[in-house]
Amino acid sequence: MGAFGLALVANPSSASAKTYTNPTSLQKHNWYSYHEDEYGTWRYYKLHFAAHSVYEFTKTSRSGKWTENKIPANRYFFKSANKAHWYNYGATNVDNLLTRSIKMAKATKTGTDGKTHLVLYSFDRSNNKGGINLTGPYKTWTYFTSAKYVSNTYEYYQTVNYLVK
């Protein structure tokens, strides 16, 4: 599973699962971030939500070449989480502790220009230490709608004390 992936399917274990369309609010943008993955590697990320799949791109330097990973809808599930405006997603037929949680929101003065932007928050259960932590605090990495707000000199995250599940 990549650093971030999302597609909508009904019941992930059902062979006849109905595939849904990704929300248009997510499809309207490419989402960019620079953060540490579960294995401690710092990477640039770009996400593109198509109607029935997700394209995840990574690279290790700003000037490097993007590596693409296409995630088809039948490999992921998407459902409401236990906190308002949060959603869980993850690979089908995998332990649910490996799922991630996301939230799309307007950030207050986030980014290198100090202005408010539309952002996507990705809940990191590993706290960029590897493995799965069952107690807080947890980091939520921030994805921006423009690469110009992403820099390797900043860590864009919020800290939360609850487990989104």
Tell me whether residue 123 is in a domain: yes
How much is the pLDDT for 76? 76
The number of beta carbons lying within 10 Å of the beta carbon of residue 82 is 11
Tell me whether residue 156 is in a domain: no
CA distance 114 to 54: 29
Tell me whether residue 59 is in a domain: yes
Residues 129, 16: contact at Cβ < 8 Å? Answer: no
How many structural domains does the chain have?
1
Tell me whether residue 153 is in a domain: no
Domain interval for residue 85? 24-144
* Phi-psi region at 128: left, alpha or beta (left = phi > 0; alpha = psi -120 to 50): left
CA distance 48 to 5: 10
Tell me whether residue 130 is in a domain: yes
Lowest mean pLDDT among 27-36, 41-50, 73-82, 91-100: 91-100
Tell me whether residue 159 is in a domain: no
Tell me whether residue 138 is in a domain: yes
pLDDT digits (tens, 9 = 90+) for 78-113: 777 888 888 777 777 665 555 677 777 776 665 567
Structure tokens belonging to residue 26: 């997510």
